[in-house]
Amino acid sequence: MKTDVKNILGSFLEPDAETDALQLSIGHINKTYKILVDGCPAFILQQINHKVFSDIDALMQNTRLVLSTLSAYVAQKPGQLQVQRLVPTLDGNWVHRDNDGGYWRMFTYINGAKTIESVRKYSHAYEGGKAYGMFLEGVSKLTPDQLTTVIPDFHSLEARYKTFEHALELNPGNRKSEAFAEIAFAKDTIDRMMLIPEMISSGELPLRIVHNDTKFNNLIFSSDGRAIAVTDLDTVMPGTSLFDFGDAIRTAANRGREDESDIHKISFDISVFESFAAGYIECAETLLTREEIRLFPVAAQYMTFIMGIRFLTDFINGDLYYPTRYPGHNLTRCRAQFTLFSRMNEQMQAMNKIIARVTARLNAVKS
């Protein structure tokens, strides 16, 4: 174990605890460790990325409120979801600040936990849909004014596209010529992707508290394949259910890596879409409006397009935000997203039929 991590642990745990730390290679933002006590997983230790989350107090206040709200919800639904607990420091704080100015926090570990990076079983897609649907219901008692927006305009296409246009204008990395096709695709597609932002602005889509980062590796599965917890609550903020549904489909139904360089390996698994939609709508249908459900196929494209724009912007700017392994890594990610968008376009009619079928089936069960 690295000495600095051992010192950090000393701020949370009594010195007689026999500990070890394993760094986890998940997520782009925070640095995360699984903490073993006497050889058994017991805690998750995490260094908060202060560059991304500048207001640590607001972030932690959000986290505590969301966790307490979810805990009250799951108490009424035993055996369905588990909720991590924050572990205070020995001096009673929720965050420890190290000598280098880093911010650290600790959560309890959920026993038997495993994560899924790539969805290969339709039962996992269904379980993931149920878990994120229950999450939406679980935080529904919170109102948008109760949480601080820690990352303004996180899924705002208007803001992301303005940043993209600004990057094009400045071209600081002198890379525009390398991304000619991707820039043209973005410009050709933006108008029809503005449907969701326009409906949010008009009030046709209700503003809710949502997760905002519904990748499947933010779910914890039990050994028997049930989704038992939703993690990574840093981005829980006001938004629309379409953000959560769309981002889950973007990541789960892609039969290729997020940075797949061979676009022929990228395909859209319509059965993952159907399985996730069935679970999500089943568990959140008492909240969801008809318009939200109707737009779920569009939501999948929206979140895929916005991620493509973000990767493309970062490439043009010189790779300032996302960690990269080689100079064109963000452009590869962008191409993968835009290819996935096109694959979804080919299946749009099938997705619409699935949504109609899922809702009809649930209505028949209720009647």
Nearest by Cα to 109 from 81, 86, 141, 78: 86
Mean pLDDT of 142-152: 94
Query: What is residue 364's predicted lDDT score, i.e. its pLDDT?
Result: 72
Q: How many CB atoms lie within 10 A of CB 84?
A: 22
Enumerate residues 6+ apart whose C-beta is below 8 A from 331: 175, 178, 179, 182, 311, 312, 315
Mean pLDDT of 211-217: 95
Q: Which domain holds residue 300?
A: 122-366
Band (158; pLDDT cuts 50, 70, 90)? very high
**Is residue 268, in this structure, part of any structural domain at all?**
yes
Query: What is residue 14's predicted lDDT score, i.e. its pLDDT?
Result: 86
153 and 84 in one domain? no
156 and 65 in one domain? no
- Of 56, 82, 108, the residue that ends a domain is 108
162 and 289 in one domain? yes
Residue 222 has phi, psi (to 5 degrees) of: -85, 170
Residue 17 has pLDDT above 80, yes or no: no
Distance separating the N- and C-terminal Cα atoms of the chain? 58
50 and 22 in one domain? yes
Query: What is residue 3's predicted lDDT score, i.e. its pLDDT?
Result: 47
pLDDT digits (tens, 9 = 90+) for 215-227: 999 999 998 899 9
- Of 80, 108, 136, the residue that ends a domain is 108
- How many domains are contained in the chain? 2
Q: How far apart are CA 235 and CA 227, in angstroms?
A: 20
More confident residue, 277 or 321: 277
**Mean pLDDT across the chain, nearest whole number?**
93
Sign for the CA dihedral angle at 184, 187, 189, 193 comes to positive
360 and 250 in one domain? yes
**Is residue 113, in this structure, part of any structural domain at all?**
no
Band (26; pLDDT cuts 50, 70, 90)? low
- Tell me 110's DSSP state: P
Residue 61 has pLDDT above 60, yes or no: yes
76 and 133 in one domain? no
140 and 78 in one domain? no
pLDDT digits (tens, 9 = 90+) for 325-347: 999 999 999 999 999 999 999 99
Check if the beta carbon of residue 230 is closer than 8 Å to that of residue 219: yes
- Of 51, 73, 108, the residue that ends a domain is 108
Report residue 244 as tokens: 């959560």
Q: How far apart are CA 85 and CA 80, in angstroms?
A: 17
Please state which of the ranges 116-120, 247-251, 290-294 shows the lowest mean pLDDT: 116-120
288 and 251 in one domain? yes
Length of the chain in residues, anyone?
367
Task: Give the CA distances from residue 52 to residues 49, 151, 176, 310, in Å, rounded to whole numbers and listed in that order.
Answer: 6, 8, 26, 15
**Is residue 202, in this structure, part of any structural domain at all?**
yes
Check if the beta carbon of residue 121 is closer than 8 Å to that of residue 64: no
Which residues make beta-bridge pairs with 20? 36
What CATH number should be reported for the domain holding residue 49? 3.30.200.20
Single-letter amino acid code for the residue at 120: R
**Is residue 47, in this structure, part of any structural domain at all?**
yes
Check if the beta carbon of residue 211 is closer than 8 Å to that of residue 151: no
Residue 1 has pLDDT above 50, yes or no: no
What CATH number should be reported for the domain holding residue 328? 3.90.1200.10
User: What interhelical angle do 56-75 and 122-138 show, nearest 10?
Assistant: 100
**Is residue 328, in this structure, part of any structural domain at all?**
yes
Please state which of the ranges 35-44, 60-69, 144-153, 334-343 shows the lowest mean pLDDT: 35-44
**Is residue 116, in this structure, part of any structural domain at all?**
no
Query: What is residue 363's predicted lDDT score, i.e. its pLDDT?
Result: 79
Query: Taking the model in full, what pTM does it have?
Result: 0.93
138 and 38 in one domain? no
Report residue 49 as tokens: 């990325």
> Angle 290-291-294 (CA atoms, 0-180°, nearest 5)?
85
191 and 305 in one domain? yes
Task: Output the 3-class SS for the chain.
Answer: CCHHHHHHHCCCCCCCCCEEEEEECCCCCCEEEEEEECCEEEEEEEEECCCCCCCHHHHHHHHHHHHHHHHHHHHCCCCCCCCCCEECCCCCCCCEECCCCCEEEEEECCCCCECCCCCCCHHHHHHHHHHHHHHHHHCCCCCHHHCCCCCCCCCCHHHHHHHHHHHHHHCCCCCHHHHHHHHHHHHHHHHHHCHHHHHHHHCCCCCEEECCCCCHHHEEECCCCCEEEECCCCCCEEECHHHHHHHHHHHHCECCCCCCCCHHHCCECHHHHHHHHHHHHHHHCCCCCHHHHHCHHHHHHHHHHHHHHHHHHHHHHCCCCCCCCCCCHHHHHHHHHHHHHHHHHHCHHHHHHHHHHHHHHHHHHHC
**Is residue 114, in this structure, part of any structural domain at all?**
no
Check if the beta carbon of residue 256 is closer than 8 Å to that of residue 336: yes
**Is residue 18, in this structure, part of any structural domain at all?**
yes
140 and 44 in one domain? no
309 and 176 in one domain? yes
